[in-house]
Structure 1
Amino acid sequence: MKLLHGLALVFLLAAASCKADEEITCEENNPFTCSNTDILSKGKVSRGVNQGGLDYYHKLIDALLEKNITPFVTLFHWDLPQTLQDEYEGFLDRQIIQDFKDYADLCFKEFGGKVKHWITINQLYTVPTRGYAIGTDAPGRCSPMVDTKHRCYGGNSSTEPYIVAHNQLLAHATVVDLYRNKYKFQKGKIGPVMITRWFLPFDESDPASIEAAERMNQFFHGWYMEPLTKGRYPDIMRQIVGSRLPNFTEEEAELVAGSYDFLGLNYYVTQYAQPKPNPYPSETHTAMMDAGVKLTYDNSRGEFLGPLFVEDKVSGNSYYYPKGIYYVMDYFKTKYGDPLIYVTENGFSTPSSENREQAIADYKRIDYLCSHLCFLRKVIKEKGVNVRGYFAWALGDNYEFCKGFTVRFGLSYVNWEDLDDRNLKESGKWYQRFINGTVKNSAKQDFLRSSLSSQSQKKRLADA
């Protein structure tokens, strides 16, 4: 299996500048008027460009290329300029389409000679749901009765997610159209990233559970992939969501359909699906309830999917299922026209409460990675899925959305108190051997198994 191993790179506010000729006043005490961002001109290319930001990314990209690392650049990874959120609520308004196009145009012009793989929007499903349905992510909008922790500043959890998703698709497609027409000479590829899961019936002998699993697939994957391939939303969504679901004009449908050269697919977990009444309309309803599905990590027999993924005593533990990546890849090949695929995220988190020695001895992460890579190789061989690359999440421990520094996803240990202090974890060493082995001598080496028994793992961990 020959896969491209690159580096995902996120552009953060490349088109930002501060009005230096104005005096800036900041509050020292409550209440802080954080929405008063008119003193900053970030967000629109027409207001000026931060040359220092452009210079930074030029140097970073050049350094990657010097090391023979292929950069995959993400234009939007949930980092909308605050001023655009303040002005017109960001992706809730169609004005975002032109501003996103202008921003992308700048990036293509500046970096397109060196960058040949562009990602428009990371995880199309995430911002509408976590940002506008339950309010856990930026910008933190949801219905008042959904807002049990009093963190949403406004919103409608039943309608806004569908509007945001619609505008995301149009913004994405507009940028792809720009790249294909104005920057075709750069000879690069462009596409979106989907967060994926696989859904198994809670009771495989129950037709209602089987239907729930397929319905969840349509609401989770089809919400975006049907427009991206057919220019319209899935029939089941139009039937259930009704007038809350926006429509594409004929021109928009033509723009969106086929607007990708590749798909980035992120995969972490699988869940069991069973039917659950959709409470719409109600004050506590969210768009995520429209599928009429309850998701769990255990089935009707009380069996968990697989090994522990995240221990959570408050919300409940989650478990992972390596074969799920096989099913997801086969599903996208079969249902969505055999697309070119890059697995853009796949990884395992460990608690930051572990000390340095424990964090480095991360043999569970090796088990996670090797088991998923094995099923990835299997689906390529057996089903002919067109997977060209794989990215382990993540190169180093990072600030994780919603969880901050409470978890570690990295192949390298990062000391939060001294960011220059880093160590390659056991998973990083394993992944390094895996890459070298598959490239140099794939016939004789098989690193798609951890080769660590549970007893040897315990001994290595104790010795560490």
Structure 2
Amino acid sequence: MANYFSDYANLCFEAFGDRVKHWITFSDPRAHAQAWHSYNSTWRSEQRGLVGISLNCDWGEPMDIRSPKDIEAAERYLQFCLGWFANPIYAGDYPQVMKDRIGKKSAEQGLDMSRLPVFSLQEKSYIKGTSDFLGLGHFTTRYITERNYPSRQGPSYQNDRDLVELVDPNWPDLGSTWLRSVPWGFRRLLHFAQTQYGNPPIYVTENGASQKLHCTQLCDEWRIQYLKGYINEMLKEPLLSHMQMVTEIVVPTVCTLCILISAVLLMLLLQTQS
């Protein structure tokens, strides 16, 4: 299937590459790396476009920020969601917590090897770095806590994570059973992606609210509020990045200049007195 998809991608690059400069291989991931390499080796020098991938993930907030187990569970939630596909692209392998958890579960289930595939060194090298930008879809947030009771499920994604997802009943209900409006979770997810994957260019590729009521006319105030809240939180993240840059670069530079100026003034004062 990866070869078939690469053939299809190359056909698209050839037919539309003179006009299309931003390509997203998948809104849900599969044979991404091969398509990226095809563009990089054959089309990039002429067409000068960018190829990325779009991954969807909700934010996981620790239920109790003072509980190390809840903090670990929330991190696990994000790694099993976003890290599952982003980590191989940016770090060359699955997240360590996925390898550890699924390996342990597989052994408990009597399997000789982990249900999570193992990348060869060649595959790691081939996959790592295959994204010119990160497309990010996001809709809502969950409180995450450690699961402290045995799962009745057999081998599954849910069982491997060992966590419980909760919602705050005060979060606005937008009609769909899974969707609550939690704008602050969006900014935290953006910050997580920036710091986790080396500050890649991020395009928000999917976000919004589903239909809440059946209307014959415009009646989507809830959607306006949802989008306003999420856009405002998104706009805060570049500000935080600039503030970090000020802290890490500008402040040390100013301090160094102040020390140099003080030293020059002291030398001039000593020369004047002598």
TM-score by length of 1: 0.48
Residue 237 of structure 2 corresponds to which residue in structure 1? 379
Match of 1:365 among 223, 240, 255: 223
CA deviations on 1:195-241 (whole Å, 9 max, x unpaired) are 02111112223222121111111111111121111111111111111
Decide whether aligned partners of structure 1 residues 208 and 248 sit closer, same or farther in structure 2, where only a CA change above 3 A counts: same
1:40-439 correspondence to structure 2 within 5 Å: 96-124=1-29, 168=30, 171-184=31-44, 185-242=46-103, 243-276=114-147, 284-298=154-168, 304=169, 306-312=171-177, 318-351=179-212, 354-357=214-217, 360-384=218-242
Contact 1:278 1:290 in 2 (8 A): no
Q: Tell me the distance in 2 between the aligned counterparts of 1:383 and 1:337.
A: 12
Shift of 1:258: 0.7
CA distance in 2, matches of 1:111, 1:195: 26
How many corresponding residue pairs? Answer: 232
Per-residue CA deviations over 1:415-442 (Å, capped at 9, x if unaligned) read: xxxxxxxxxxxxxxxxxxxxxxxxxxxx
Partner AA of 2:142 in structure 1: Q
Change in CA separation of 1:368 and 1:213 when aligned onto 2, cut-off 3 Å: same
Q: Which amino acid letter does the alignment assign opposite residue 306 of structure 1?
A: W
TM-score, length of structure 2 as denominator length: 0.79
* Higher RCO (C-alpha 8 Å, min separation 6): 2
In structure 2, runs of 5+ residues without a counterpart are 104-113, 244-274
Whether the 8 Å CA contact 2:187–2:237 is kept in 1: the answer is: yes
Q: Distance in 1 between matches of 2:175 and 2:154?
A: 27
- Relative distance call for 1:296 and 1:382 in structure 2 (3 A) is same
CA deviations over 1:349-404 (Å, ceiling 9, x no partner): 124x51212xx12111110011111111111112249xxxxxxxxxxxxxxxxxxx
What RMSD in Å do the two structures reach over aligned CA positions?
Answer: 1.9
Q: Deviation string for 1:62-91 (max 9, x for gaps)?
A: xxxxxxxxxxxxxxxxxxxxxxxxxxxxxx
Contact 1:120 1:190 in 2 (8 A): yes
Residue 454 of structure 1 aligns with which residue? Answer: none
Identity %: 34
**Rounded Cα–Cα distance in structure 1 between residues aligned with 2:210 and 2:180:** 12
Q: Indicate if the aligned counterparts of 1:297 and 1:318 stay in contact, CA closer than 8 A.
A: no
Measure the CA separation in 2 of the matches of 1:249 and 1:209. 33
CA, structure 1 residues 101+384, in 2 after alignment: closer, same or farther (shift >3 Å)? farther
Q: From the two aligned structures, give the one with the greater helix fraction.
A: 2
SS at match of 2:130: coil
